[in-house]
Structure 1
Amino acid sequence: MAGFVTRDVPLTPSADEAQAWAEAELAKGIYNDEPTILERLADWLWQLWEQIVGMNSSLGPVLVPLVVLAVVGVLAVVALLLGGPVRRRRLARAGSSEVLSADDDRSAADLRAAAEAAARAGDFSRAVLERFRAIVRGMDERVILEDRPGRTAHEAAVDGGTRLPACAEQLLSASRLFDEVCYGHTAPTAADYEHLCEVDRAVGSARPQRERPAAVGAP
Structure 2
Amino acid sequence: MAASALPGAARLTAVALGSSGDEPPVTVPRDPAREAARRELAKRMYHENDPSLLQRALNAFWEWLGRLLAKAASTTPGGTLGLLVVALCVIAVLAALWWRLGTPRRSPSSTAPLFDERPRTAAGHRAASEAHAAQGHWNQAVQERMRAIVRALEERALLDVRPGRTADEAAAEAGRTLPGHADGLRAAARHFDDITYGGHTADRQVYQRIAQLDSDLGRSRPTLVNSTARDGETG
TM-score for both structures, normalised by structure 1: 0.53
Structure 1 gap segments, 5+ residues each: 1-91, 214-219
Alignment of 1:1-219 (within 5 A): 95-96=109-110, 97-101=112-116, 103-212=117-226
Counterpart secondary structure, 1:112:
helix
2:226 aligns to what SS in structure 1?
A: coil
AA of the residue aligned to 1:196: I
- Between the aligned residues of both structures, percent identity stands at 40
Separation in 1 of the partners of 2:133 and 2:166?
23
CA drift of 1:183 comes to 1.3
CA distance in 2, matches of 1:175, 1:161: 11
**Separation (CA, whole Å) in 2 of partners of 1:100 and 1:185:** 18
Q: CA deviation at 1:169?
A: 0.4
d(CA) in 2 for partners of 1:99, 1:106: 12
Structure 1 segments, 4+ long, off by >4 Å, are none
**1:160 is matched by which residue type in structure 2?**
A
The residue type equivalent to 1:190 in the other structure is: R
2:3 equivalent in structure 1: none
TM-score (norm: length of structure 2): 0.49
CA distance in 2, matches of 1:115, 1:205: 20
Q: Give the SS at the match of 1:212.
A: helix
Write the letter of the residue equivalent to 2:187: S
The residue identity in structure 2 corresponding to 1:99 is: L
CA distance in 1, matches of 2:108, 2:154: 23
Deviations 1:91-144 (A, max 9, x none): x9882132113x231110110000000011111110000000000000000000
Give, as a single letter, the amino acid of the residue that structure 1 aligns with 2:171.
A
- The letter of the residue matching 2:149 is I
Count matched residues. Answer: 123
Q: CA deviation at 1:209?
A: 1.2
Distance across 2 between alignment mates of 1:187 and 1:93: 14
* SS of equivalent residue, structure 1 residue 206: coil
Deviations for 1:29-48, whole angstroms, at most 9, x for unmatched residues? xxxxxxxxxxxxxxxxxxxx
Counterpart of 1:110, as a letter, is G
Unpaired runs of at least 5, structure 2:
1-105, 228-235
Contact 2:167 2:192 in 1 (8 A): yes
